[in-house]
Each structure stands twice: as C-alpha cells, then as structure tokens.
C-alpha cells in the first residue's frame, strides 16, 4: 500500500520523490500549490512509510501501483512531477497512461537510460551497501547532490535528508538501484507525450548532467535551468524552483 499526504482542493497534482527520499521532502515546497490543486505526495515502495514486499521492483511495476492508487483515490488526469528517481517513475507512468495524465514534470531527472558508466556506478553502490550498510552509504551520498557552494548554507537540510534516507528499507534501496540501472530509454515517450511537459535542470547537477537535460529542451513546453544549483533545486534555489513550477501550472 502506498502511503501519501493530501492537501488542498482542486485538480490533482502529484509529487514523486527521488532515490532515498520520501514524501516529507516536499513539505516546505507544496504549500502555495494547495490553493488551486489537491496536492498528493507519495512514498514509493521501500521508502518513507510505504513497504516493499520482496527484493525486486521495476519502474513499470511501480507505475502500475501508482495507476491503481490513482484509481482508488479517484484522481482524474492528474499532473505528475517527479524528482530524480521520481522522474523515471513519471516517465514510466506517461508511457502507461498517456493522455490519462494532464501534464508531466521532470525535476532534476531524465528520460534517458543509464549509460554504461552509470550502470557500473550503480553496481558498485549495490556492492557497497551490501557490504557496509545503508547508513554509511547515506553519509556520503547526500552532500554531493548539492552544488559545492551550497553545502555550507544547506548543512542542516543535508543532515535532515541523510537522517530520512537512513529510514529507507535496505531491500527497497537495492531494488530501486537495480530498477534505475535497468530502466529503458523513454526519450520517445518524452517527445511524443501529448500534454504539457516541464523540465527543471541544475547547472551543476552531478546526477543528471546539464548537457543531457538540454537535449530534452526542444520537446519541453516549459524548460528551466537553475544557475548555481546541483540536484536539489527545491532546496538550493527554492523560490526560483517554485516559480518554474507555478509558471508550468498556470499555463496548463
């Protein structure tokens, strides 16, 4: 069962968190949107309060779970915005549901699959976590997600994200590392999705390179690059990120 929060009234707006994150990451970001939308924030299986039974899950299976959740909750043509891993899930949802989604957003994410170098890194991470555990991994994983010039100012936020990430289930973390490594190329889905498309990119993002983000721009209805930002623009440049999402929503 997927755990979620619900706030506001109006058309459905769904935020999906990234790897080793949870629905709580959106807590300080979604307030303004609840004036005009019913805002939902999900915990993906194995993260936050959502359990993962077993040791495997694919992005396609995750998309089906979310579609089923939408049907139960009565969501009609929601807008879905995903951060990082959440963006990969959003693309799988777009492929599954098509016009069943009103619009989609990639927040420091990509429609491209992992290249061979990234797959190698995923495999090393899997081995590291199996050998040393999740806590040690989280200590080193979170800080580089922020641009170097942001890390001192964001120290308390980084510590909060590390603590939250350590609450993730080990089987969920390992399962989604494999799911990300093995995900398919969905650039054609991005190109051909009929609804509005938002992309927010970070100038210094080490997880999704800015050069890759720019290849999505010709097919996006709304494209924003955040200067001086890494992978966590909702914290590093909150106001600019908010304006980017508001601009997208206002033009739907």
Is 4-250 a domain of CATH 3.40.50.720?
no
Cα separation of 162 and 12, whole Å? Answer: 30
The full length of the chain comes to 252
Please give the chain's pLDDT, 252 residues, in tens: 899 999 999 999 999 999 999 999 999 999 889 999 999 999 999 999 999 989 999 999 999 999 999 999 999 999 999 999 999 999 999 999 999 999 999 999 999 999 999 999 999 999 999 999 999 999 999 999 999 999 999 999 999 999 999 999 999 999 999 999 999 999 999 999 999 999 999 999 999 999 999 999 999 999 999 999 999 999 999 999 999 999 999 988
Cβ atoms < 10 Å from Cβ of 120: 12
Asked if 82 and 61 count as a contact pair (C-beta separation under 8 A), the reply is no
Nearest to 44 by CA among 86, 80, 74: 86
């Amino acid at each position: 069962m997927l755990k979620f929060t619900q706030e506001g009234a109006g058309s459905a707006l769904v935020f999906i968190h990234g790897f080793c994150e949870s629905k709580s990451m959106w807590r300080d970001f979604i307030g303004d949107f609840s004036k005009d939308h019913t805002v939902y924030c999900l915990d993906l299986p194995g993260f936050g309060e959502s359990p993962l039974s077993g040791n495997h899950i694919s992005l396609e299976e995750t998309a089906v779970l979310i579609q089923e959740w939408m049907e139960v909750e009565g969501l009609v043509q929601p807008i879905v915005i995903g951060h990082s891993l959440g963006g990969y899930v959003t693309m799988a949802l777009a492929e599954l549901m098509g016009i069943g989604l009103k619009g989609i957003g990639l927040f420091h994410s990509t429609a491209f699959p992992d290249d061979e170098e990234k797959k190698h890194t995923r495999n090393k991470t899997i081995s590291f976590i199996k050998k040393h555990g999740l806590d040690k991994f989280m200590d080193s994983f979170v800080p580089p997600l922020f641009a170097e010039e942001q890390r001192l100012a964001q120290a308390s936020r980084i510590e909060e994200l590390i603590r939250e990430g350590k609450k993730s289930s080990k089987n969920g973390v390992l399962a989604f590392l494999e799911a990300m490594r093995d995900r398919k190329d969905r650039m054609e889905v991005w190109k051909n999705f009929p609804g509005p498309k938002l992309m927010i990119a970070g100038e210094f993002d080490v997880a999704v390179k800015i050069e890759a983000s720019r290849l999505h721009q010709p097919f996006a209805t709304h494209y924003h690059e955040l200067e001086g930002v890494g992978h966590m623009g909702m914290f590093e440049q909150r106001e600019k990120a908010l304006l980017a999402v508001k601009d997208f929503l206002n033009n739907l």
